[in-house]
Amino acid sequence: MTKIGFITLGCPKNEADTAHMRTLIEGSAYELVDDVESADIAIINTCGFITSATEESLECIFDLVRDWVPAGKGRHVVVVGCLTSRYGEKLSGEIPEVSLFLGVKDEKDILVHLDALTGMSSKSSGTHIARRAEGPSEYVMIADGCDKKCSYCTIPSIRGPYVSRPLEDVVEEVRGLIETGAREIILIAQDTSRYGFDLAEDVTLATLIDALGILEGLEWLRIMYVQPDGLTDELLDAMERNDKVAWYFEVPMQHANHRILRDMGRGGDGNAFLAKINEIRRRFPDAVIRTTLIAGYPTESEGEFQELVDFVKQAQLDYVGVFPYSPEEGTAAADHTEHVADEVRQQRAQTLRDIAEEISFGKNVRWAGRTIDVLVEGVDDEGQWFGRFEGQAPDIDGIVRFDMPQDVNLDSGMIIPVQVEDTFLFDLEGTIDE
């Protein structure tokens, strides 16, 4: 039986895409393996969003065709995802050692393309839901693509226009994931708050939250990628009335200056964002708020950057991802004639990071002395148990490490009370509260 292994790079949307491809393959004549070293076909789900992600994807591809392919008989490398969607035929000419390139829109037909490559005739039952290899959490993509025209972003050209999945399909997938062991469901899209606007029925993200909130076995429902203008009363009301929804808000703001945001093709400004933040904290006193910011956008003056610095100090956010502006081929911002020097972009980004991290570490201290519910994830290499509380999303935020009494048995996916005794940077440390 031909064995297939995956390597997934980039954001959680790629994790969700990989999960769907795994679902098709698990129901077929191919065999899935967790380690590409034992595979006959390595499928790399790539990221091509910004230059650094493109470089990481290319490095992974080159490593495989240089070292992995020659080490085994009849091995194939298949490259899928955003890198292929963005650069298309250029890649096949530059890396002929790759057996197959597929864009995002072709991933649904992965079996057809694999059969053409291997000469097999495989059909997928498509009747089950594939879990990720480890952990109690699952990403579920509720929509793909984007209609916004942010001047710095390549997503619309890579993934196409915004398309919501039917509500029934999302609920069915979540139900299947819960039945196979998931305890936390993380809803993702380029803009989750826009969910349903393109569907014939009257459906919104709030409707979806209500439909998922009643599913037995679901412990936490986490919502990612909520654009600022999507933080409506309807959405906040739905989050309030469903106690399974994590009081965690990831809201990409990108900047605070009004002129810069309009040049980016985005709405709002620092004052509008502060009003949103205050409303969240009024409704959810323990709310954890994350954002992303871009430093050194074309034409950004020292004064406009200082306005962004002042906003970060005022907002007192829990987590801030800071990125120096990256000029991307095919975007409107890349055509600006007045770019901020790369050295200045890097300096400004580091300045923001230093300020934001100091705030984050200070905010983290508020959990010391409190008992919090922790979703158990496992044991690290040093034998220390760890998990996350509602204010920590997987892979991007901190974790909770805790000591376990000898007479307590734990499994991944359990939710336990932990008494927080100390904090270390983004992490919390404590003991099980008996």
Q: Please compute the mean of the pLDDT values over residues 166-171 and round it to a whole number.
A: 95
- Per-residue pLDDT reduced to its tens digit, 398-413: 999 998 777 778 888 8
Q: What is the mean pLDDT of the chain?
A: 91
128 pLDDT above the threshold of 70:
no
Domains and CATH numbers, the chain: 3-118 (3.40.50.12160), 137-365 (3.80.30.20), 368-432 (2.40.50.140)
92 against 324, higher pLDDT: 324
Q: What is the CA radius of gyration of the chain?
A: 22
CA distance 411 to 96: 46
Interval 16-59: pLDDT, tens: 888 888 888 887 889 989 889 999 999 999 988 788 888 899 99
The β-bridge relationship of strands 415-424 and 371-379 is: antiparallel
Q: Which two tokens stand for residue 414?
A: 């359990």
Q: Return the pLDDT at 119.
A: 86
**pTM (2 decimals)?**
0.86
CB atoms within 10 A of CB 343: 10
Q: Compute the distance between CA of residue 30 and CA of residue 27 in angstroms, rounded to an integer.
A: 8
Res. 125: pLDDT tops 70: no
Could you tell me if 83 and 95 are in contact, meaning their C-beta atoms sit under 8 angstroms apart?
no
Regarding beta strands 163-164 and 220-223, do their DSSP bridges make them parallel or antiparallel, or are they unpaired?
Answer: unpaired
DSSP symbol at 50: S
* 3-state SS class at 68: helix
